[in-house]
A and B are shown apart, each in its own frame.
Chain A
Amino acid sequence: MLCVLFCNLLVSADEYENDSLHTRKLNTVTVNGYRLQIVRAVLPVQIYSEEDIRTLNAVNITDVVRNFSGVSVKDYGGIGGMKTVSVRGMGAQHTGVSYDGVTMSDIQSGQIDLGRFSLDNISEISLTNGQPNDIFQSARLFSSGGILCLKTKFIEYDKDKSFAGKVVLKTGSFGLLNPGIYLNKTFGEKWAFNLSTDAITANGKYRFLQHYGSNNSLSETLTRTNGDVKSIRSEVNGLYHFRQKESILVKANFFGSERGLPGSITYYNSDDSQQRLKDRLFFTQIHYENRVNEKFQHQYFARFNISDNHYTDKDAKYTDTDGILIDNYLQKEYYLSSSFQFKIIDPLFISASADWWYNDLNINSNVDFKDFQYPTRQTGLANVAAKYLTEKLTLGASLLYTLTREKVRTGFASPDREKLSPTVSFSYKLLENKELRIRAFFKNIFRLPTFNDLYYQEMGNHNLRPENANQYDIGFTYLETEIPFLSDLAIMADGYYNQVTDKIIAVPRDMFHWSMTNKDKVNIKGLDLSLKMNFKVGKSDLVSLKTNYSLQSAKDATAGSDNLGEQIPYTPLHSGSGSVSYIHRNWETGYNLMYSGVRWNGQMTDKTNRLDGYIIHSIFVSTTYKQWRVNAEIINLLNTQYEVVKFYPMPRRNFRISLTLNI
């Protein structure tokens, strides 16, 4: 059976005080902190803080990520549906996801299910092209084409308040019910604990308009079924401070879900999809950090991760097994990391980090995978980075060494790999008294084939080479805080050129059998523009405007290809997002726009593969009263019927209401 979807892939105690003026000042300080970080970054970074996230019509992490420029999200629709994130045309497997400093991984498909993390527990989401600007990181954070960093929030020690929390309840269309509780407790100055847990249940049903051909052809209104989801997400953290800048954090995170996979639409076939997916994902990590001495800082991570996925499909075609297919996947990872940072002479920092991890995968099925090879892989990384940091000039250079060792129980294992990947970056402040900078970076990196690429039955190819990506970027950043009427204005513009070679693609042998091979070459020329503005209106009102635009000209550059020079699948040439919000005393209201231009759902860019562009409008209004906050949203205001992935219809107009009680 063709490989189906296999991705499957701090407590923020709201300190909303009654004194709105005080709140405004706090926000501005935080806002400016982020703005400076973005403007001085030598590698392009976009950050959405908790505050920014509140102005987006977002219920999960992918909703936030969609707003970054340079990002293409492939969304299969529905609350429990798979969503994958590709940055600057390189493909989803080049996007690393880091959660509180540790890279998440899935050795089987290479895709992370961002839905396993609750958005209410997140204090910051950032996307950096290349690698993080802060060089004091695990080596693994230097090993992706782009890195999405998720940070949870731990409340700072406050002698007046040792217990804080919030209770959240969300409800809305699709039968959504999502209660959650977030608690944070400190004991003196040394100990802090937090617990966050939420549950989601939704029936996932919605009506949609299906055309049987072009937009002029016969059409019908159908109902999307088997998209129900039940899930639980919980996390506990324990933090102990030895001294002010020396601490140890222990974290345990669990995600359990049972959901239906509605599948793609098949014309004239009224069968309900019978695909079900049960996930149990658990990880625990320990993080020791010592930043006491400015000249020498060190941190260590240890993590254990286990993922258990259970997929079933009922179909009369499985005649030998009573019409049911059962696939069980179990993967484990053990991870260790150590990083060091030295301040040699004042503006020069050097960091060195070493990571090692082990992955294995077990699959058993009642129909497939009878010859499964039980692969295991050990990966070792060593990274050295240097950063020369002054007010005017920043220079960065790093070199990553990668070593892999793979073993299988039967058959052939993928050859061991050894690679060196350099990165150089620079940023220069052009004007004396203005925050206007020019920056550029070059990064060479690769992504290793996943276990599915290498060993999937009848399709895997153990000889696959890693997929290479060279990134070149040049851009400007500008931050202005002294314009009359404007509170601040931040602009970011980057032009880039990415070359992906040895791209791993599936090549058909016949209609139902495909094989993985390194074949393609893709050249991507693009532009990422980002603008953020805040206006003060009257005494204390604030208007906040954010807009992102991406141009991605991602063309097939494979020699001898029939589609040479054509745009690659699922990458729109033009896309963007916009967000406007207005704060008046304890009321906030806003409008969001999501735009995607035309895309193609196959390599042939003709009318049969064309996917129309779309604009989705959404609005929200929220109010705070004492400890309560209510937020009401209407998503897809104009009831637009659209698809992100062909034959996976997206919901039309829907709504959401959330109620938060701060304890």
Chain B
Amino acid sequence: MTTTKIISSLFLSALCATFFTSCESKDDSVESPEISTGVFVLNQGKFEANNAGLTYYDFATGTASTDVFSAKNNRGLGDTGQDMIKYGSNIYIAVYKSSIIEVVNIKTGMSTKSIPMKNAAGTSSSPRSLTSANGKVYIVLYDGHVTELDTLSLTLGKTIAVGANPDASVIVNNKLYVANTGGMSAVKDSTISVINLSSFTETKKITVNMNPGTIKADSYGDIYVVSKGNYGLIPGKFQRIEAGTDKVSDIDLKVQNFDIVGDQAYISNFDYDASWQAVNKTIALYDVKNEKLLKANIVNTEILKTPYCINVDPTSKDIYLGVSDYSNLGKMYCYAQDGTFKFSFATGLNPAKVVFISNN
């Protein structure tokens, strides 16, 4: 190569290196948008693949940015994004395997603080689910504890013990209900720990079906639990814990996942065929006040892949159904209250939770 050629190629590569980021990204505005009104989707990512992420869908522009957290913070969210809630001006994300709580500002999408969750021995306690009340965020930890986070100072407070491998949680009438799965034990657990938030102590355990997972409450104080059994001889169940009496009863419905807004529970269900593909995908409507099934399936358009999460917008009552095939990017379907398909957008891998935000 001649000297001039060498110099010009060096110059060109230096030029490209300087503008490397813009050379790479296709459209800056889509990758790192301004956050206004829309939804955040927590992408769980694949376990041990460090690819949890945050998708932002904007209602006005109708575009989805697949990983807004990476774009705004110049680093990945971590490994296995397990739960996300909105409280005050922040989004709190429980990143399970990384064992951190990310506190993200709703307006900027930037992380205000990354709180490592460690137990007394200094190893990871692994956060699973988040709830909030009275200026605190309650963090359920897979090593069998619950801890509180003060949202003003963003410091951790007391830690109490619950059952084995607790997962989902819900707050009703100043009590925190935590589902103990016992997932890492020889025999899975079947209890719900009840914590009095004033004293922050566990007051009792309610026995339900084996391996309780999703747990939600209605405005009447009833608590609904989906359990998965032991993936073998013991099947899963959909149960109700009655407000006041704490009596447990079975509901004759097959439920994979659900959400409750107002007087209705929105139930996502499907079956597996012989090669573990999801079939018979439905969204059912259940009246939580009169405790009866309203409609077995409201959706009549095609749902691709496997339903992964269901969340309902408390203001518009729109239903968001996330789907995944566990290897490729996921998708979010949005339906109106009556089941009419409205729009869909691409998410990251394994969309696990939707949070509705408005910066206006």
Contact = CB atoms under 8 A, between A and B. Distances in A.
Interface stretch (A111-119, A313-321, A398-406): A313-321
Q: Which 10 A-B pairs have the closest CB atoms?
A: A316-B143, A320-B185, A508-B326, A212-B75, A218-B75, A213-B76, A319-B144, A319-B164, A268-B98, A267-B78
A519 B275 contact: yes
Contacts of A268: 78, 95, 98-100, 114, 116
Nearest to B95: A268
A608 interface: yes
Given A1-B184, A321-B185, A604-B329, A212 B276 contact: no
A317 B143 contact: yes
Contacts of A366: 186
Contacts of A519: 275
Contacts of B184: 1, 315, 317-320, 325, 367
Interface in A410-430: none
Nearest to B70: A213
Nearest to B180: A319
A269 interface: yes
A329 interface: no
B169 interface: no
Contacts of A646: 49
B83 to A, nearest CB: 13
Contacts, number: 133
Contacts of A1: 184
Contacts of B186: 320-321, 366-368, 370
15 contacts: A2-B47, A315-B184, A316-B144, A317-B142, A319-B144, A319-B165, A319-B185, A320-B186, A367-B184, A367-B185, A511-B350, A512-B47, A517-B276, A603-B328, A604-B328
A509 B97 CA distance: 20
A371 B231 CA distance: 12
Nearest to A515: B276
A51 interface: no
Contacts of A317: 126, 142-143, 165, 184
Contacts of A562: 325, 327-328
Contact of A266 (B48, B121, B232): B48
B21 interface: yes
B182 interface: yes
Which of B21, B48, B119 has most chain A Cβ within 10 Å? B48
Contacts of B325: 508, 562
A357 interface: no
A217 B74 contact: yes
Contacts of B123: 271, 315-316
A265 interface: yes
A392 interface: no
Contacts of A513: 231
Given A269-B124, A320-B182, A515-B276, A603 B327 contact: yes
Interface string A602-624: 11101010000000000000000
B132 interface: no
Interface string A70-89: 00000000000000000000
B276 A608 contact: no
B275 A266 contact: no
Interface in B123-144: 123-126, 142-144
B164 A316 contact: no
Contacts of A608: 51, 349
B164 A511 contact: no
A563 B78 CA distance: 25
A82 to B, nearest CB: 15
A511 B79 contact: no
Contact of B50 (A218, A266, A371, A603): A266
B254 interface: no
Given A217-B70, A507-B276, A563-B328, A269 B99 contact: yes
Nearest to A272: B123
Interface of A: 1-2, 212-213, 216-218, 264-271, 315-321, 325, 366-368, 370-371, 458, 507-509, 511-513, 515, 517, 519, 562-563, 601-604, 606, 608, 646-647
A321 B182 CA distance: 11
A266 B49 CA distance: 8
Given A267-B75, A603-B327, 17 more contacts: A217-B75, A218-B75, A264-B48, A267-B78, A268-B78, A271-B124, A315-B184, A317-B184, A319-B184, A319-B185, A320-B185, A321-B185, A367-B186, A458-B232, A512-B183, A604-B327, A604-B329
B11 interface: no
B40 to A, nearest CB: 19
Nearest to B121: A316
A271 B350 CA distance: 25
B20 interface: yes
B107 interface: no
A266 B231 contact: no
A242 to B, nearest CB: 56
Interface residues of B, number: 52
B343 interface: no
A517 B275 contact: yes
Nearest to B325: A562
Contacts of A217: 70, 74-76
A647 B165 contact: no
A519 B124 CA distance: 37
B205 interface: no
B239 interface: no
A604 B95 CA distance: 23
Contacts of A320: 164, 182, 184-186
B44 interface: yes
A293 to B, nearest CB: 55
A511 B326 contact: yes
Contacts of B327: 508, 562-563, 602-604
B175 interface: no
A217 B53 CA distance: 14
Contact of B74 (A218, A370, A508): A218
Contacts of B125: 316
A608 B43 CA distance: 13
A16 to B, nearest CB: 46
Contacts of B126: 316-317
A487 to B, nearest CB: 34
Which of B114, B142, B184, B185 has most chain A Cβ within 10 Å? B184
A368 B74 CA distance: 40
A507 B76 CA distance: 26
Nearest to A371: B232
A515 B327 CA distance: 14
B272 A269 contact: no
A98 B49 CA distance: 35
A513 B276 CA distance: 11
A325 B48 CA distance: 19
Nearest to A569: B327
Nearest to B48: A264
A267 B44 contact: no
Nearest to A647: B50
B165 A266 contact: no
A325 B183 CA distance: 13
Which of B95, B143, B186 has most chain A Cβ within 10 Å? B186
A604 B66 CA distance: 15
Contacts of B75: 212-213, 217-218, 267
Given A212-B76, A213-B70, A317-B165, A267 B50 contact: yes
Contacts of A212: 50, 75-76
Which of B50, B231, B272, B350 has most chain A Cβ within 10 Å? B50
